[in-house]
Chain A
Amino acid sequence: MGKKKEDSRIGWKVSDIVTIGVLTATLEAAKIGLAFLPNVELVTLLLVVYTTVFGKKALAASFAFVGVECMVWGMGLWVINYLYIWPFLVLLALVVCKSGCRSVWGYSILCGAYGLGFGALCAIPYFFIGGPSMMLTWWIAGIPYDLIHGISNFILCLILYRPFRYAVEKCRIVVIKE
């Protein structure tokens, strides 16, 4: 009884923490694995899949991923970007998921739009560093890369969303059973 009460107060089970650890590890592996291809990444797709399967737990994984990235690459301005960019994606995916979206096209459009808007989101800190002109210059200079990012996100999600989701759901069932 006492243990049950304690569990509900903490709100996290051991399996949750293990799950978040595994999600974070796969995010980092995906990031490093495709680092040789500029502006082509699987982190967006994985976070969307994790959000549709695990809900809000993906938010914790997105923050943990930023922590691991800091340990790998050191601190920099990009840390501020990452601290809101990836959790923002999880929130967007949560909204799309809660709206009842079951279509791979819906999530592909989300991933594509997120890629196209990635530079604009990253440019926000430059508003506080050098004002609106610096923010705009920085954003506009990166538009060709945002286009590659958006298109590749869209195509990758269209092709990989279903197999990734199937694999993640299978793993989740195994964790629950054990």
Chain B
Amino acid sequence: MGVEEKLKQSKKKIWIGVAFLAVFAAILVAVYMIAGPKAKEGTKQCTLEVENDQNKVKSYKISTDAKYLREVMDELVEEGDFSYEGTEGEYGLYIESVNGLKADYETDGAYWSIYVNGEYGQNSADNQPVADGDTYRFSYETDSE
């Protein structure tokens, strides 16, 4: 096989590889659009609860047009009776503190979990769609629990 022929074959392989990558990405986009979390328009009534390290629960009743939980949190922050801090992690917002209570995983294995209607949440706060009647709970937990 000549050098030119080899080069041609190599280029063909590269194009096939790049096409495979593009198709893979397109499939992921399609799956996310079909089955991904969907936000709803309009006003929703929901409840946000914060369970601290003493298992005390503070509850907030909210009427909101927000599509995602993080927007609800930001609205509550503006109202003044709620606060949170976090960093952008590999899978969205990683909540580090709520209402001034910091969960330090490195020190004592503590972290903030999100529950949606009593079920362990599968989305970060910025990906969790807000639905009418839902209850969201931030729960301070430790690995030893």
Assign chain B's interface to a size class: 20 to 34
Stretch at the interface among A3-11, A17-25, A54-62, A137-145: A137-145
Name which of A83-91, A105-113, A170-178 contacts chain B: A105-113
Shortest CB-to-CB span from B24 to chain A, Å, is 5
| Chain A binding surface SS class | helix
- Contact of B90 with A140 in the complex, beta carbons under 8 Å: no
Q: Is B40 an interface residue (CB 8 A)?
A: no
Q: B interface, by DSSP: helix, strand, loop or mixed?
A: helix
Question: Quick check: is B36 within 8 A (CB to CB) of the other chain?
Answer: yes
- Contact: A150 with B29, CB < 8 Å? no
Q: Encode B111-126 as 1/0 by CB contact (under 8 A) with A.
A: 0000000000011100
CA distance A144 to B88 in the complex (A): 14
Of the candidates B20, B25, B29, B122, which one forms a contact with A137 in the assembled complex, judged by CB atoms under 8 Å apart?
Answer: B122
What residue of chain A has the Cβ atom nearest to residue B10's Cβ?
A: A103
Contacts A106-B13, A116-B28 given: A145-B21 contact, CB under 8 Å?
no
Residues of A near any B CB (own CB < 8 A): 38-39, 73-76, 103, 105-106, 109, 112-113, 116-117, 134, 136-138, 140-147, 150-151, 154
Closest 4 CB pairs of A and B: A109-B17, A143-B32, A105-B14, A137-B122
